[in-house]
Amino acid sequence: MDGQVKVAVIYYSATGITYQMAQAAVEAAGEAGAEVRLRKVRELAPDEAIRSNSGWQAHRLETQDVMEAQPDDLSWADVVIMGSPTRYGMIAAQLKQFIDTTGPLWAAGALADKVYSGFTSTATSHGGQEATLLSLYTVFYHWGGIVVTPGYTDPSQFVAGNPYGASHTSNNGEVAPDHVALAATALTAKRAVLMGAALKRGMAG
Ligand SMILES: Cc1cc2nc3c(=O)[nH]c(=O)nc-3n(C[C@H](O)[C@H](O)[C@H](O)COP(=O)(O)O)c2cc1C
């Protein structure tokens, strides 16, 4: 059995904030020794809606070469980290639509016994960050996943302030993730890899 932990970072981002957090998760997971896939979920919004928002249009072009997530990315991974902007206190429909394609994998038990975590961004302070992460984790509980969070396991978390997962307040895409949000995202990813490695070793033994 290949001992290297496989991590899938699967995200949705309209205006690029959550994408920057996804990149931080990828970098940290790689530094922690994992093999990492970065995957965006398929865009569902009509072209005219995207074109009406310059930030959305620009981000779509920026990430046109990022591969789209497939159910196989979930079965491949030992660790899955999902990110989404908050939409009324929940994950974006685009990420939920991807999640809703996983019925066959779920039925086969292929989503269980993996480590899962998440990150989010909002326009306003709090703004539903914890609710979004908890709504995402509800899916992971249904899958039989093991949810790993940053908690307060590092002093930086007393500054970041969200033990449920990494989060950032963007003022509607105006404020890029700062070092606090990126550090929380990196911590989340590193802990997920660490726990994923321990689980993988344990399950193999
Ligand atoms: C339909 C919609 C609903 C949103 N709901 C919330 C919300 O409940 N709370 C909040 O603070 N921000 C909300 N936002 C703002 C986004 O979550 C925020 O701008 C986020 O950082 C965008 O991330 P992105 O650049 O990755 O798309 C909403 C945005 C849209 C378009």
pTM (predicted TM-score): 0.98
pLDDT score recorded for residue 205 = 81
CA 48 distance to own-chain centroid: 27
Coil, helix or strand at residue 80: strand
Q: Cβ(52) to ligand 1 under 6 A?
A: no
Candidate of 21, 87, 125 to mutate for ligand 1, largest count of ligand atoms within 8 Å of Cβ: 87
Q: Going residue by residue through the chain (205 aa), what tens digit of pLDDT does each one get? A: 478 999 999 999 999 999 999 999 999 999 999 999 999 999 999 999 999 999 999 999 999 999 999 999 999 999 999 999 999 999 999 999 999 999 999 999 999 999 999 999 999 999 999 999 999 999 999 999 999 999 999 999 999 999 999 999 999 999 999 999 999 999 999 999 999 999 999 999 8
Joined together, the tokens standing for residue 142 give 């249904």
pLDDT score recorded for residue 25 = 98
Q: How far is the CA of 113 from the CAs of 34, 74, 198, in angstroms?
A: 18, 12, 12
Candidate CATH numbers 3.40.50.2300, 1.10.10.10, 3.30.499.10, 3.40.50.360; the one for domain 6-204: 3.40.50.360
Note whether 62 and 33 are within 8 A (CB). Answer: no
**How far apart are alpha carbons 202 and 176 in whole angstroms?**
39
Q: Which ligand 1 atom sits nearest the alpha carbon of residue 83?
A: 26
Q: Which ranges in the chain belong to alpha helices (H)?
A: 17-31, 47-51, 54-62, 71-76, 93-99, 103-107, 129-142, 157-160, 179-204
Q: Which ranges in 41-178 belong to alpha helices (H)?
A: 47-51, 54-62, 71-76, 93-99, 103-107, 129-142, 157-160
Alpha carbon of 35 to ligand 1 centroid (Å): 30
Q: Cβ(176) to ligand 1 under 6 A?
A: no
Alpha carbon of 74 to ligand 1 centroid (Å): 25
**Domain range summary for the chain, segments of one domain joined by +:** 6-204
Q: How far is the CA of 177 from the CAs of 9, 16, 141, 182, in angstroms?
A: 17, 10, 28, 6
Nearest CA to ligand 1 atom 1: 87
Note whether 132 and 89 are within 8 A (CB). Answer: yes
Q: Which of 139, 130, 134, 180 is nearest to 160 (CA)?
A: 180
Q: Cβ(150) to ligand 1 under 6 A?
A: no
Candidate of 88, 125, 135, 136 to mutate for ligand 1, largest count of ligand atoms within 8 Å of Cβ: 88
Q: Which of 69, 40, 39, 71 is nearest to 143 (CA)?
A: 71
Q: Cβ(124) to ligand 1 under 6 A?
A: yes
